[in-house]
Structure 1
Amino acid sequence: MEANGRSSKLAGFFNEMSSQGRPVVQESPKLDLELYIQNYKGRTRYDRLYHIGRTSTVLCVEALKAAIAEAKSGNDVGAYRNAVDTLREVAPNEPEAKFDQGWADAREISNKKETQRLEAQLRGYKNNLVRESVRIGHEDLGRHYEAIGALQKSMESFANMRPDAGTSKHLVEVGKHLVRVAMHMRDWPVVIHNVGKVITLAPQEFATDMKTSSRYLRAARAIAQMQAGSFEEAARNVVSIPMSGDRSWNEQEIASPNDIASYGAILALATMERPALRASVLESSTFRPYLELEPHLRKALNFYVNGKYKACLEILESYRPEYLLDLHLHRHIPDLYRMIRTKCIVQYLIPYSYISLDSLSQMFGTPGVPIAREICQMIRSGALNARINSIEKQLVLLSPDPRAVLQREALDTATWFQKQSLDRMRTISLKAAGLEARTPRRVVLASGDSRNVDDGWYSDGRDPMDMAL
């Protein structure tokens, strides 16, 4: 009876999650929850456990219990309350589903005292006018706010560190703090903005590939671009993240090396053509070490590059439940898988002038979804230039008219020659008038801005670049 009651509550809970547009994973995932969560540290451990608890029907109770234990090991009373409330909906008879009011009250009192102590300490530092102490005071207060779940106040405290940052290393640390908290808040434009600030203010630190800060910020930027729907940019950034020689990843606050392998492989499959996929992913000395952590993805990439599209799609489908449990990837799996599937079908059809729908269904068909309906959607979207012969049950591939192609190329060539002729005539006229046209140079001013300046000289011999600087 108790088991039936839990099953009904689970079904009701996940029906509600599905109605809200959240993914629901019914299958038993391949991951071991305890080993999986060991790949992370910091606040993301709770976030990932809580996401799995609201996504997987199999791991729901186990993940929520682990999330409650993770919250009680910290200071965030709000996170603990959310996990307990969710567990109470699916398994009210579990001991962990009872809210520990004594712990919550004691933790709130402790948090309030610590907040007052750190604020008083910061005021003392400001009165003493010691910049380094003020910077550290803001950092301590920001970490405290982050630990108790006051993320907006944490952002403000970390942002206040910037005026007192005296070196490029300090600027990078400020950027890392802001990026981490913004990721917890799911504020992706702020993540991209702060990574850009670090690149501008401390470019040498960011450009050093083996620096932990560089890898951390590159990973954060790639995840934010993926969340914003910029899959191509995200793919290029993920596959350019170097792996540390000692495999010491501080990036585990946001993503593990296995996550980087998954993000890079799936994004690359969805957005890159075969030559770029081979050069930038499979044969890349930068990204290849990540694929060693996820051999099934390396196999899928090899299958795609070698034209074995069905085997590639089968591997990806078998791991769909695991990717739906990922905190950052789950929202985009339907779109990315659809893009990969479309690419596979288009590449498979290149050698054919026509093909029967039955043979196409044997290769790419999915249960319950007629292949003709999927092909129609591809034709309407412009991904496939073809027509369906409903009488013969064939897909007829359309090739462009060679005459039209030749005419378009001839017109493009004529337009190019016309533009070149006009440019040369202008240059001849300028030289005949004793003038000279030069490309303006771009200089960086002391303020950090850049602008184009004339490449000439002033009448008194001064260089305008010196004047700009």
Structure 2
Amino acid sequence: MADSLLAFFTIMDSQDGIIVKDPPKFDLDLYIQNYKGRTRFDRLFLIGRSSVPLCVDALKAAIAEAKRGKDTQRYREAVECLRIAAPSEPEATFDQAWLEAQEAANQIETNRLLTELKGYKNNLIKESIRMGNEDLAKHLESIGDLNAAAETYSKMRPDVSTPKQFLDVGRHLVRVSIQRREWGMVSAHLSKMGGAQHAEEEKAVQPYLRIAQGIALLGQERFKDAALSFLSADSTITASTYSEVASQSDVAVYGGLLALASMDRNELQSKVLDNSQFRSFLEQAPHIRRAVTQFVSGRYSACIAILESYRPDCLLDIYLQKHVAAIYSQIRSKCIIQYLIPFSCVSLDTMNKAFGGPDQGIEDELADMIQSGAVEARINTIDKLVTTKAANPRAKMQYSALRAAENYEKQALDRLRRMGLAAAELELKGGKKMGAFPSNQADFMIEESLEL
């Protein structure tokens, strides 16, 4: 089996896949119980293709999950992977009888639903047409025809009659768009759902909107916006309302990691640790709370150590995997910058103890940060010292005083102009530049009104 696993991950590596050699901290069976719907297979299949320790177990679970559904293409992909990774496993042989029977059943069900929908359209009953489109779209989604499913879900919109039905259509479209990794479409559908909320529906749908929006923003690498979206999700709503996209632990990990990568210490304290709405999520991922606490407390090496111990778990997440390197790099850079702020001179040995690894020193990383402008410092390679550029508090104070004076002068002039316009009994309308007064004419009116 070792040779076949090696061959499998050689293929995965040649396809630019991410290979995780270290075992994750979660139990596979308990982990997958947090999800429902098609995301269960997606997560199992990703773990099977990425995790060396869990490869065979995850692929076998993915095959079992595929056989519980209707998507025969997913079954083929999972069996093909297991056939390469562990050809001796019983599940590595195609169940041709199940495949043929399922494909025939799928075609029969598709024809039946199309016939029913055609009858509903002939009868011109809006509610029946809406339900017919919904049943057909759900079936198309379950067999893996996501393009046709999205198109059919969209056809439900003209026939909705209640706020709940409108939100249901939005959720269907968001779910399919997430599966297709169309992050712009996810945001577009969510904005329509948010604009159509009613008081009785708002609370129940709020976590789903925030979490799905956070996933879409994460996919677009807008880390701070994504963090704010996750942090604003209401943790008091049951997880079953959004378990088709994420679990409570996922929300805590996404929100905490992205906040660490994009927020300063004050924001982390107020928006993460002191956020009562997010506290229940953090209880599901205590390591994230510890990492944020260590960063806020100034123990940066401890923060990085915690995150590094959970890196394999993050690399096995379907939404985080592609962004782990960028997120961890930003967090590490922030820790180094914050570590250097109180000191004018630090030895490289001290920096290596705090941030260096067993096979890699900090010197090259510091040099890259200095060259990019992230850190204002110099490295003395002879004495093995890092010297930071001393701040000039006098110059900072003078600069802030000048800026305050400029702002005060600008506000005073704006108020004088408004007073002149009011004294002349004129009205200034915004939005049309052609109607604006030239600055010299406005000043003349002000002076004339003041003389009067």
TM over 0.5: yes
Q: Distance in 2 between matches of 1:257 and 1:414?
A: 49
Report the CA distance between 1:34 and its aligned residue. 1.2
Report the CA distance between 1:288 and its aligned residue. 0.7
What is the 5 A alignment of 1:115-134? Answer: 115-134=110-129
Residues paired across the two proteins, number: 431
Do residues 227 (structure 1) and 219 (structure 2) align?
A: yes
Instruction: Pick one of 209, 223, 233 that aligns with 1:217.
Output: 209
Q: Distance in 1 between matches of 2:137 and 2:212?
A: 19
Equivalent position of 2:308 in the other structure: 317
Equivalent position of 1:346 in the other structure: 337
Q: Distance in 1 between matches of 2:200 and 2:183?
A: 23
- Return closer, same or farther for 1:280/1:414 CA change in 2, 3 Å cut-off: closer
Do residues 241 (structure 1) and 236 (structure 2) align?
A: no
Do residues 159 (structure 1) and 151 (structure 2) align?
A: no
Report the CA distance between 1:157 and its aligned residue. 0.8
Q: Distance in 1 between matches of 2:43 and 2:9?
A: 17
Instruction: Tell me the alpha carbon deviations over residues 170-220 of structure 1, each in whole angstroms, 9 at most, x when there is no partner.
Output: 1110000001111111111111110011112336466x33x1x22122211
Q: Distance in 1 between matches of 2:299 and 2:14?
A: 37
Q: Distance in 1 between matches of 2:236 and 2:323?
A: 28
SS of aligned partner of 1:253: coil
SS of aligned partner of 1:225: helix
- Return closer, same or farther for 1:272/1:112 CA change in 2, 3 Å cut-off: same
Q: Distance in 2 between matches of 1:304 and 1:83?
A: 41
Equivalent position of 2:13 in the other structure: 18
| Contact 2:7 2:84 (C-alpha < 8 Å) held by counterparts | no
Instruction: Pick one of 336, 345, 351 that aligns with 2:327.
Output: 336
Equivalent position of 2:4 in the other structure: 9
Equivalent position of 1:142 in the other structure: 137
Instruction: Pick one of 179, 198, 205 that aligns with 1:184.
Output: 179
Report the CA distance between 1:406 and its aligned residue. 5.2
Unaligned regions of 5+ residues in structure 1, if any? Answer: 1-5, 441-469
Instruction: Pick one of 18, 28, 32 that aligns with 1:33.
Output: 28
Equivalent position of 1:71 in the other structure: 66
Equivalent position of 1:47 in the other structure: 42
Instruction: Tell me the alpha carbon deviations over residues 142-162 of structure 1, each in whole angstroms, 9 at most, x when there is no partner.
Output: 100011000111101111111
Report the CA distance between 1:409 and its aligned residue. 3.7
Unaligned regions of 5+ residues in structure 2, if any? Answer: 432-452
- TM-score normalised by structure 1 residue count: 0.88
- Return closer, same or farther for 1:340/1:248 CA change in 2, 3 Å cut-off: closer
Which deviates more from structure 2 when the two are superposed, residues 405-414 or residues 229-238?
405-414
| Contact 1:54 1:60 (C-alpha < 8 Å) held by counterparts | yes
Report the CA distance between 1:379 and its aligned residue. 1.4
Q: Partner letter of residue 159 of structure 1? A: S
| Contact 2:207 2:242 (C-alpha < 8 Å) held by counterparts | yes
| Contact 1:169 1:205 (C-alpha < 8 Å) held by counterparts | no
- TM-score normalised by structure 2 residue count: 0.91
| Contact 1:300 1:311 (C-alpha < 8 Å) held by counterparts | yes
Equivalent position of 1:92 in the other structure: 87
Equivalent position of 1:364 in the other structure: 355
Q: Partner letter of residue 124 of structure 1? A: G
SS of aligned partner of 2:379: strand
Identity %: 48
Q: Distance in 1 between matches of 2:419 and 2:288?
A: 58
Query: What is the CA RMSD across the aligned residues, in angstroms?
Result: 1.9
| Contact 1:220 1:254 (C-alpha < 8 Å) held by counterparts | yes
Q: Distance in 1 between matches of 2:160 and 2:10?
A: 50
Instruction: Tell me the alpha carbon deviations over residues 24-58 of structure 1, each in whole angstroms, 9 at most, x when there is no partner.
Output: 11112222111111111110010000000000011
